[in-house]
Amino acid sequence: MGLKTLIRLLGVLLICAVVFGIVKCASRGQGVTTVESSETKRKVFPDFQINDVAKIELREKENTLTINRGKENWEIAERGGYPADSKKVVDLIRSVWDLDIAQPVPLQRSQYGRVKLLDPGAESVSAEEAATVMTISNAAGEELGSIWLGKVHEASEGRPNPFSGGMMMNDVGRYVKRGDSAAVYIVKEVFQDAEPKAKDWLDDEFFEISKIKSISRKTSKPEESWSLSREELSGDFTLVDAKEGEELDPTKVTAMKSAFSNPQFDDVFVGDDVKVPSSNVFTIETFDGFTYVISAGEKNDSNELPLTVKVSESFEKTRKEGEEESDEEKKAEDEKFAKELEAKKEKLAKEKKLEGKVFQVRSFVIDSINKTRAEILKEKKEEDEDAGAEEAAAPTPPAPAPPAEEK
């Protein structure tokens, strides 16, 4: 080997050593700033038994969430076994099963707090340092995998942030470690939904009312109760058993035609929080043959209130044939009726499952129908003022002329 060749080789080795030293210092200092890709992917859980998952526990410093596989649904233990959002649960399990290591991070245990990977169960650990621990088990209670979710890893977009200064940042991954290992990795999955907040995991499917035929409100004060009905879907409501002098104000009840057309709930009450509401009871019948009895309680300072629902049916089970139907028309109408009847039965079965539960809803869900009897009537005061105004506006007749003097 010539002298020049030896010098070149020593120079290359020196450059490699300097680069290695810079990378190592950066790893020990501020951590990894980019997520590298690799043709050879390594799984965080190479032997994860995805089909055996029967329980998921998410644990933070203050909160815990337990999701169990039930006979029909995934269920939330902290909500009395109320159904969980199955898609959300399955997506979480699949994310763990498919989780690849994007970048190993050489951290000492003393540095875990900096990336939020300390044990949330330790008294000396703050919420800002604690991990979110996800433990996945099978039906026998055997652990299939445990992953500690730490700080979200960000990367710069390369452009200034117009709101807070600095550079615009994107979430590109998360620091994680297995529960049975000290090795820390960055993975490309952010696990944004992996938080132990029970209400965020509830199946949000709720009841829905359409084609209202009649609606009534009953309270502990009979004078505030009322009942409205209409004969056809395109018609307006009339006040049932209107008293003398009472006249319904159509503008005040128009919105009631679409009451509960798309109601939503925020949470489900369980345990000592369960208080069955009874201050307002609404009974709604539809042209489709459904009857709903909805009980609502008083709203709190946050405009939230408890609500329950019961549903029953009285829809036709057989179709009445029209006059002079051809065989082809009869077949088409029979098929249409059977399809609609099946849809009604499915809807009834789903909404029956809501019975016995007390839901937390926002007050706007019942605002359109939560009115007293006086609030849906035309105001007499306005009518009297209008009549007085008309009388005042009428021209004053001229005074009669004095009688002529007799000559």
- pLDDT for res 296: 95
For residue 13, the model assigns a pLDDT of: 54
Other CB atoms closer than 10 Å to residue 240's CB: what's the count? 12
pLDDT of residue 396: 61
Q: Among the listed ranges 131-140, 164-173, 346-355, which one has the minimum average pLDDT value?
A: 164-173
Mean pLDDT lowest among 99-113, 136-150, 323-337, 345-359: 323-337
* SS3 per residue for the chain: CCHHHHHHHHHHHHHHHHHHHHHHHHHHCCCCCCCCCCCCCCECCCCCCHHHCCEEEEECCCCEEEEEECCCCEEEHHHCCEEECHHHHHHHHHHHHCCECCEEECCCHHHHHHHCCECCCCCCCCCCCECEEEEEECCCCCEEEEEEEEEEEEEEEEEECCCCCCEEEEEEEEEEEECCCCCEEEECCCCCCCCCCHHHHECCCCCCCCCEEEEEEECCCHHHCEEEECCCCCCCCEECCCCCCCCECHHHCHHHHHCCCCCCCCEEECHHHCCCCCCEEEEEEECCCEEEEEEECCCCCCCEEEEEEEEEECCCCCCCCCCCCCHHHHHHHHHHHHHHHHHHHHHHHHHHCCCCCEEEEEHHHCCCCCCCCHHHECCHHHHHHHHHHHHHHCCCCCCCCCCCCCC
| Lowest-pLDDT choice from 215-219, 222-226, 325-329 | 325-329
Residue 87, burial from CB neighbour count under 10 angstroms (0-12, 13-18, 19+): exposed
216-225, 248-257, 373-382: segment of lowest average pLDDT: 373-382
Read off the pLDDT of residues 287-308 as tens digits, 9 standing for 90 and up: 999 999 999 999 999 999 999 9
Question: Looking at the predicted structure, is the pLDDT value of residue 125 above 60?
Answer: yes
Q: Is the pLDDT of residue 71 over 60?
A: yes
pLDDT > 70: percent of the chain: 84
Q: What is the mean pLDDT of residues 317-326?
A: 86
Residue 165 has pLDDT above 90, yes or no: no
pLDDT computed for residue 53 by the predictor: 98
HSE of 84, CA atoms in CB hemisphere, 13 A: 29
Q: Identify the pLDDT of residue 320.
A: 87
- Span 29-60, pLDDT tens digits: 333 333 444 445 799 999 999 999 999 999 99
* Confidence band, pLDDT 50/70/90 cuts, at residue 380: confident
- In this prediction, residue 103 has a pLDDT band, given cuts at 50, 70 and 90, of very high
Mean pLDDT of 73-102: 97
Q: Residue 390's pLDDT band (boundaries 50, 70, 90)?
A: low
pLDDT at 16 over 80: no
pLDDT confidence of residue 15: 47
Per-residue model confidence (pLDDT) at position 394: 59
Summarize the confidence of residues 239-243 as an average pLDDT: 94
pLDDT at position 45 is: 96
The pLDDT score that the predictor gives to residue 379 is 86
Out of 310-314, 393-397, 398-402, the most confident range is 310-314
Confidence class for position 279, pLDDT limits 50, 70, 90: confident
Q: How confident is the model at residue 170 (pLDDT cuts 50, 70, 90)?
A: confident
Average pLDDT score, the chain: 87
